[in-house]
Amino acid sequence: MGRYDTSIARYEEAKKVLAGGVSSNFRYHAMPAPLAIERGEGAYLWDADGNRYIDFVLGNGPAFLGHSPRPVLDAVRASLDRGQAFTTVHKAEIDLARRLCEIVPCAERVRFDVSGTQVGQVAIRLARAHTGRAKVVKFEGHYHGWADNIFASVAPGLNEAGPRDNPRVLAQSLGQPGNIRDDLIVQPYNDLAVLTDTVNARADEIAAIVLEPVACNCGVIPPEPGYLEGMRGLCDDHGIVLVFDEVITGFRVALGGAQARYGVTPDLAVFAKAAAAGFPLAVVAGRAGAMEGVTRGVAHGGTYNGVTSSIAACGASVEMLAANGGAIYGKVERDGQALMEGLREIARRRRLPLHAQGLGQIFSTTFAGDPPLLNYRDYKATDEPMRARFVQGLQDRGVRVTARGTWFMPAVLTDEDIAFVLDAADATAAAI
Ligand SMILES: Cc1ncc(COP(=O)(O)O)c(C=O)c1O
């Protein structure tokens, strides 16, 4: 029996009926086949071949509290017998909206939705309506969902990406319309001087600047000191709507998201993933002036927005995260720093060009390149084949990390788990 026999067989079976064998294009990467996961509990997953993994993928972020957190499941169960979808407003929805307005610095109003992609669309539409302008500034390497108008320059090859200071706008999928270039401006992250020049030259066309405040989809790159503040100032000076995509950072890097952690308040922000522990819930939040666009002609719909089970899941998640003054964030910060430090020690001892960077709650491991990574091009210049060998070696030893080298930290690791992971990393480092 091979370690992945059942996963491989399941994938072959799936491909006959499920297009591509998976339900999202971002699930192909698992090696040698997408893992046939049977069960998740806490920090662990078990596959159909009987292998256990300490999970740093966490469904690409949602399971920050670990898989199947009891209080969230209990709250969802309690909601089920009272009906799911009413197409009106319900009490728990109002209570949760009020709670989020207390927690999230920019939130004077919120709207619920079901996915990060969709709330990104809402934010863009609100910003365009608010400003009467069309263009959106986004940053190379940042991901804001797979919708036509924003799925650009997320993972371009360095040979096609154009000049560093003026990157090309590159569509990321066949079937996207050719005109996405007309309304997007792509910028290098972490370069305030370039952004300032761009905004000064084109301010009256720009509706929004949209970014991942910590660039989690390309190497987990924190903002340089003063960068977010400078961007806030530019937006204020030119009447541009500043949109933080906190789909990953929200409820993860601090209870109030990156905006709370870095003390810079955007006009609009979008959340999903860790907000509801794996249940489909997303939030667009922001200043009343922009958010109230929905009462002045900006359309936002969705049959499943605010369904009772997702609201219950988010409400219970938020209370778990907020308990004891948000003590969970300190614990994960310590665990994540311990892991990064342990990985750096292994790298030194094994003479491996392994680089760990990020925050305690989410970090990345890359190889070679020229650390610290400050923008997408730094990340892209790292050694991808070596990263893939490291990720595979970890998976073979019971530690599951994303193919991008991102480690989503679960909040429920024990000291034994951390020791296990570092042993697996050491053995992998020795092997590669
Ligand atoms: C920063 C960011 N924004 C938006 C999205 C899209 O969210 P969803 O997959 O829920 O549509 C993602 C998904 O990974 C993301 O990482």
Pocket test for ligand 1, best of 58, 115, 117, 246 (most atoms within 8 A of CB): 117
Residues 37-65 have a mean pLDDT of 98
Is residue 104 located within the same domain as residue 130? yes
Nearest to 340 by CA among 271, 262, 276, 418: 418
pLDDT at 228 exceeding the cut of 80: yes
Task: Quote the tokens at residue 258.
Answer: 């990156």
Residue numbers of the domain that contains 422: 5-68+325-431
pLDDT at 431 exceeding the cut of 80: yes
Q: How far is the CA of 245 from the centre of ligand 1 (A)?
A: 8
Three-class HEC string of 53-64: EEECCHHHCCCC
- In angstroms, the CA 66 to CA 210 distance is 29
- In angstroms, the CA 107 to CA 305 distance is 18
Q: Report pLDDT for 30.
A: 76
Q: Report pLDDT for 221.
A: 98
- Predicted confidence (pLDDT) per residue in 236-294, tens digit: 999 999 999 999 999 999 999 999 999 999 999 999 999 999 999 999 999 999 999 99
Residue 63: CATH number of its domain? 3.90.1150.10
Is residue 329 located within the same domain as residue 311? no
Is residue 292 located within the same domain as residue 346? no
Count structural domains, the chain: 2
Cis peptide before 372 (omega within 30 of 0): yes
Query: Do the Cβ atoms of 258 and 242 come closer than 8 Å?
Result: no
Q: Dihedral of CA 247/251/254/257: which sign? A: positive
Alpha-carbon distances, residue 254 vs 71, 325, 326, 340 (angstroms): 20, 11, 8, 19
Q: How far is the CA of 283 from the centre of ligand 1 (A)?
A: 12
Is residue 63 located within the same domain as residue 79? no
Q: How many CB atoms lie within 10 A of CB 250?
A: 31
Rounded to two decimals, the pTM is 0.98
pLDDT at 369 exceeding the cut of 90: no
Is residue 186 located within the same domain as residue 197? yes
Task: Quote the tokens at residue 231.
Answer: 């961007």
Q: Would strands 206-211 and 241-245 be described as parallel, antiparallel, or unpaired? A: parallel
pLDDT at 330 exceeding the cut of 90: yes
Min mean pLDDT across 77-81, 286-290, 368-372 is at 368-372
End-of-domain residue from the set 286, 320, 354 = 320
- In angstroms, the CA 270 to CA 243 distance is 8
Is residue 209 located within the same domain as residue 300? yes
- Predicted confidence (pLDDT) per residue in 138-163, tens digit: 999 999 999 999 999 999 999 999 99
Break the chain down into helix, strand, coil percent, rounded to 5.
Answer: 45, 15, 40
- In angstroms, the CA 400 to CA 55 distance is 5
Is residue 234 located within the same domain as residue 137? yes
Confidence of residue 29 (pLDDT cuts 50, 70, 90): confident
Nearest to 94 by CA among 77, 79, 111, 106: 111
Is residue 121 located within the same domain as residue 186? yes
Query: Do the Cβ atoms of 34 and 28 come closer than 8 Å?
Result: yes
Beta bridge partners of 184: 136
End-of-domain residue from the set 320, 348, 378 = 320
Pocket test for ligand 1, best of 26, 27, 220, 248 (most atoms within 8 A of CB): 248
Q: How far is the CA of 104 from the centre of ligand 1 (A)?
A: 19
End-of-domain residue from the set 320, 342, 357 = 320
E runs forming strands in 297-375: 354-359, 362-367
Q: Report pLDDT for 31.
A: 84
Task: Quote the tokens at residue 314.
Answer: 């988010």
Q: Report pLDDT for 1.
A: 83
Is residue 64 located within the same domain as residue 107? no
State the average pLDDT for the chain: 97
Is residue 82 located within the same domain as residue 228? yes
Residues 176-199 have a mean pLDDT of 97
Residue 161: CATH number of its domain? 3.40.640.10
pLDDT at 94 exceeding the cut of 80: yes
Residues with CB under 6 A from ligand 1: 60, 115-117, 120, 143-145, 212, 217, 245, 247-248, 272
